[in-house]
A and B are shown apart, each in its own frame.
Chain A
Amino acid sequence: MTPKRRRLWLLVGSLAVLGVAATLVLTALNDNLVFFYSPSQVAEKSIPPERRFRLGGLVEMGSVKKNGPETRFTVTDTHKTISVVYRGLLPDLFREGQGVIAEGSLGPDGVFVAREVLAKHDENYMPPEVAKAIKDAGQWKERK
């Protein structure tokens, strides 16, 4: 086999693999992209139930109610709020007044059913999306 033929083979092979990979990536991105919304954005858009997305904001003070393994709380961006129900173990840094990101979908009653509540390793850390959501609602105060 001449070097030229070999290079052609290589090229064809690489293109085939890359093509398959690109197809996989594009379909996967189409189906599995999880958007991030703040409570205000949820109120503006009509998000179909079952559509998975991430909800971010602050856990409203005094809103956390526990009933066995089920927890209900309200997420706020200081402008709009949305009720969340979560069944499972909450991360250790979940606290009222702290930033939170929950992944799940809206139930038929408009309550956000969280399948996952994300934990942070650092309590001073504010998820950038949450900070932006609160800024957009015009209520951001720079912390020292």
Chain B
Amino acid sequence: MIPELGHFALILALAVALVQGTLPLVGAARGDGRLMALGSTAALTQALLVVVAFAALTQAYVTSDFSVANVVANSHSAKPLVYKISGVWGNHEGSMLLWALILAVFGAAVAVFGANLPDTLRARVLAIQALIGVGFLAFLLFTSNPFERLSPAPADGNGLNPLLQDPGLAFHPPLLYLGYVGFSVTYAFAIAALLEGRVDPAWARWVRPWTLAAWCFLTLGIALGSWWAYYILGWGGFWFWDPVENASLMPWLAGTALLHSAIVVEKRDALKSWTVLLAILAFSLSLLGTFLVRSGVLTSVHAFAQDPARGLYILAFLLTVTGGGLALYAWRAPKLTSSGLFQPVSREGALILNNLLLCTLAATVLLGTLYPLFLDLLTGNKVSVGPPFFNATFVPICAPLFAALCVGPFLGWKRAELWPALQQLRVAFLVAVVAAIVAAVAIDSRSTLAAVAFGFGVWLIVGSLVEFVGRLRLGRAPWAESLRRLRATPRASLGMTISHAALGVVVLGAVATGAWHLEVIQTLKPGEKTRIASYDITLVRVDNVQGPNYVAERATLAVTVGGRPFTVLEPERRLFTVQRRQVAETAIHSNGFRDLYAALGEGDRNGWVVRLYLNPLAPWIWLGAALCAFGGFVSLSDRRLRIGAPSRRPAVQAAE
């Protein structure tokens, strides 16, 4: 009964979305207030209906209702409750339902928080949001119905993919989707602005919180996914340049560019049509990511079994959204004239450079990701583009980006001098150079490149802090004065400093782990020992343990330093009994500055294969990413975004 209710709610949601996607548009074109007001009501109704559908599916999972085919395929009665719930989105149908849910909730949020938007803009944004929703709801109902029944119902289910039975992955998809789908709002705003033929600073201010929120969630989602890959795959790495990882990185890069270019629209009334284009591209790249993951066109370590028909639908949808958006852009964008003039050396100029480099990065990743596909289509050759390609392209383009990142905030709007800005960064430059030299001499003299990259990380952190200290006049003015300035600092600036410095933290972690990690693979019998750096590691024993839905072999590795006990690592090999699948559970000892990482391999008469890593600064990668997102949230809490954004000013006045 309840699954049918969910199915019915989905059908109703589709009907409501169709209404929401059409009538408000007509209303906005004709100036009919009643039709426009329909948008908000419909958005709330649609969100409510999708919530009901999602709750119905969750209920089926929690109660292990094996008359529902989706539950049978992806759940099992012996599974812990948290994974019964995460199982809802741990499969194709459920994850698409989650996508539709977040889409509808974002739509409702626009209706609720958009009270200060002009009526026509709000109506159009909600209509576009609903049209995207129609695409997803129809996709669910016609190709991937999560509520399909199975008769007769089997006694138990097939269980969830064991790799997904992990707290890191349980929350990775929702966060990632909050990011992907968040860009749909930005897209809707961009299309609505093109329909209106008007982009001004007020528009940028309305769009900013949505972009920022989406970007924060996407950052967290990517970080969580990378962390999961780090500790579950047992390879010690954190980023593999896998197509699916790239798929989430591309919208992040475009979103980061958008975040920065929207500032120029807001403050200076320039770069309008570029910003609108970026908004279209950021969401298109999000959809492309979904297409790549869901269609299986690319060989990936993440590949799940897929259905080409569904891939085709998403591809068609992607083409409609991107093609439609770009066509509208080509037609209407020439109407968007900018009024702000500026010199190349200025805050605007720096932000343009930022955009140029970020977009080049996104294009590089896109090319590397899709190149095997093109080559296969054109020549039939099967190739893969791996980490060496990205290390040779992505990393060099990062260098000017990082170099310019610290300089930008010192430049004034419109017209600035480069030299004074650089002088203020003297200290940061010196510290970075010293750090690079120390890294080259003391840590590893073989890799100059890693040392330089390390220096860049330090430059980002110190450079951002120098700007902040200068802003507060710390040390140069009385403490009370600095404190007053701290209070007066807009949250947006505070967020910028945090996020920029956090990027430096990520860079330090990634460089140190990537270039300077130690690795030992050895076969050990109980009682035998090995050594990594100054850690002596003894395999004490291997036990069999029983988990809720798995049996595991658990190794006890005693770690000593200089003969004194240091810690005990207990990596496991879990065999999930329902699926007969083996999954490694690594053991990590982290002190915040380095990870001691152990994975257990197969064992036989000759002993157990043990893989050990010493990853310097590894925790900083995720700490930095979390901090980066935190900076975004701080910026999101800025007063000017919270307290009723201003009514639209005449465009002429906005030019200042």
Contacts and interface: CB of A to CB of B under 8 A. Distances in A.
Contacts of A93: 581-582
A121 B301 contact: yes
A43 interface: no
Contacts of A66: 602, 604, 606
B389 A32 contact: yes
Nearest to B371: A29
Contacts of A103: 384, 386
Interface string A108-144: 0000000000111111110111001000000000000
A10 B264 CA distance: 15
A98 B210 CA distance: 46
Nearest to A124: B305
Interface string B338-360: 00011110000000110011001
B599 A89 contact: yes
B408 interface: no
Nearest to B355: A14
A138 B352 CA distance: 55
A3 B382 CA distance: 48
Interface residues of B, number: 54
Given A24-B397, A25-B393, A32 B604 contact: no
Interface in B598-631: 599, 601-602, 604, 606-607, 609, 611
B344 A9 contact: yes
A129 B385 CA distance: 14
B523 interface: yes
A92 interface: yes
Contact of A125 (B234, B303, B367): B303
B397 A87 contact: no
A90 B388 contact: no
A120 B303 contact: yes
A31 B301 contact: no
Nearest to B583: A92
Contacts of A1: 341-344
Contacts of A17: 356-357, 360
Contact of B388 (A3, A10, A31, A88): A31
Contacts of B604: 66
Contact of B303 (A31, A89, A121): A121
Nearest to A35: B383
Contacts of B235: 89
A129 B299 contact: yes
A5 B204 CA distance: 26
Contacts of B579: 123
Interface string B291-304: 00000100101111
A18 interface: yes
B386 A32 contact: yes
A42 B599 CA distance: 33
Contacts of B384: 34, 36, 54, 103
A32 B581 contact: no
Name which of A17, A37, A90 has the most chain B CB atoms within 10 A of its CB. A17
Contacts of B144: none
Interface in A89-103: 89-90, 92-93, 101, 103
A36 B382 contact: yes
Report the interface size class on chain A.
35 or more
A120 B304 CA distance: 8
Nearest to B375: A33
Interface in A67-86: 67-69
A49 interface: no
A112 to B, nearest CB: 16
B411 to A, nearest CB: 16
Contact of B523 (A33, A68, A119): A68
Contact of A120 (B301, B389, B609): B301
A35 B382 contact: yes
A116 B5 CA distance: 49
A57 to B, nearest CB: 13
Contacts of A46: none
Contacts of A67: 606
B233 interface: yes
Given A1-B343, A17-B360, A128 B234 contact: no
Nearest to B342: A6
A6 B299 contact: no
Contact of B363 (A21, A87, A101, A122): A21
Contacts of A36: 381-384
Interface in A1-33: 1, 3, 6, 9-10, 13-14, 17-18, 20-21, 24-25, 27-29, 31-33
B161 interface: yes
A115 B484 CA distance: 58
A33 B382 CA distance: 10
Contacts of B301: 118-121
Nearest to A54: B384
B522 interface: yes
Nearest to A92: B582
A128 B392 contact: no
A93 B343 CA distance: 58
Interface in B293-331: 296, 299, 301-305
Interface in B218-272: 233-235
Contacts of B302: 121
A88 B611 contact: yes
Interface string B492-531: 0000000000000000000000000000011100000000
B100 to A, nearest CB: 24
B364 interface: yes
Name which of A29, A87, A123 has the most chain B CB atoms within 10 A of its CB. A29
**5 closest Cβ contacts across the A-B interface?**
A36-B382, A28-B392, A32-B388, A68-B523, A32-B389
Given A27-B392, A121-B163, 6 more contacts: A1-B341, A3-B341, A13-B344, A34-B386, A88-B611, A89-B601
10 contacts: A17-B356, A32-B392, A36-B383, A54-B384, A68-B523, A88-B611, A89-B599, A121-B163, A121-B304, A128-B296
